[in-house]
Amino acid sequence: MPQIEVFPDSDALCNHAATVFQDLANAALTQSDRFTVALSGGSTPKKMYERLVNADLDWSCIHFFWVDERCVPPEHSESNYRMAADTFLDFIDIPSSNIHRIKGELSLNDAARDYENELRSFFLNCLPVFDLILLGLGTDGHTASLFPGSTALKEKEHWAVGVRHDTPPPPLVDRVTLTFPVLSAGKNIIFLVSGRDKAKIVACAFGDPKNPLQIPVQEIISTARNISWLLDKDSAGDLSA
């Protein structure tokens, strides 16, 4: 059963998430010379990233990848890379070689192939097992850029794929996303979900029917090993005790 923690508000949720990040990184770095993280976009993840600026960490050992990226240049306001850079990456002492962004400025399939090549190079052609994957949850049950009904939900071979995205939720921008085989392999997966508008989908995620093609987050719930849900009381509002 996934671990669920409910906090009074999104500030408390994100403060705790930043502490968990620091604790996981410091624990991992007693056993390894690197800690690998895959970042999501979204308002709740963003709020947590703001709290990483003051984390007491050896950033030279921490490598950042992305769960997904919009197909825009890195300086674009919709770029998940830019969001992370503006909130904390530009303010910490981290080598640029530790930042493995998805090159949204490339064409859709070139960006996906380039990112998968980066993953293969870094993880030595083995399935990427991230130490920590941070995920958001859309009101439609998407996570990363794995949207309901998408062919990307069935991708088992590629670790990253391009996703056409021209219907809500916004932004209506094509995406590159990690696929379920990579997301489900994460050593630690943390969902960061806040706001009353997420209460229904959070309850659906855990409830019945199980329909991962229409509620993609259910695929991760049913296949991943170590998932923590950090919710605020609003997003947890429809969860039964």
Q: Which residues here bind ligand 6PG, judged by CB under 6 A? A: 40-45, 67-68, 80, 136-138, 142-145
Least distance to ligand 6PG, CB of residue 43, Å: 4
CA distances to 93, 95, 198, 204, 230 from 219, in Å: 36, 34, 18, 13, 18
Q: Which residue type does 231 have? A: L
Least distance to ligand 6PG, CB of residue 44, Å: 4
**The tokens 């306001």 sit on which residue?**
77
Least distance to ligand 6PG, CB of residue 47, Å: 9
Q: How remote is the C-alpha of 88 from its chain's centroid?
A: 16
- Pick between residue 43 and residue 60 the one whose CB is nearest to ligand 6PG: 43
Pairwise CA distance, residues 71 & 79, whole Å: 8
- Pick between residue 112 and residue 144 the one whose CB is nearest to ligand 6PG: 144
Q: Are 152 and 158 in contact (CB under 8 A)?
A: no
Least distance to ligand 6PG, CB of residue 14, Å: 11
- Pick between residue 97 and residue 151 the one whose CB is nearest to ligand 6PG: 151
Q: Are strands 175-178 and 68-70 parallel, antiparallel or unpaired?
A: antiparallel
- Residues 125-139 as b or e (16 or more Cβ within 10 Å = b): eeebebbbbbbbbbe
- Pick between residue 3 and residue 43 the one whose CB is nearest to ligand 6PG: 43
CA distances to 61, 99, 160 from 95, in Å: 9, 7, 24
State which residue has the least CB distance to ligand 6PG: 136
- Pick between residue 36 and residue 177 the one whose CB is nearest to ligand 6PG: 177
Least distance to ligand 6PG, CB of residue 177, Å: 8
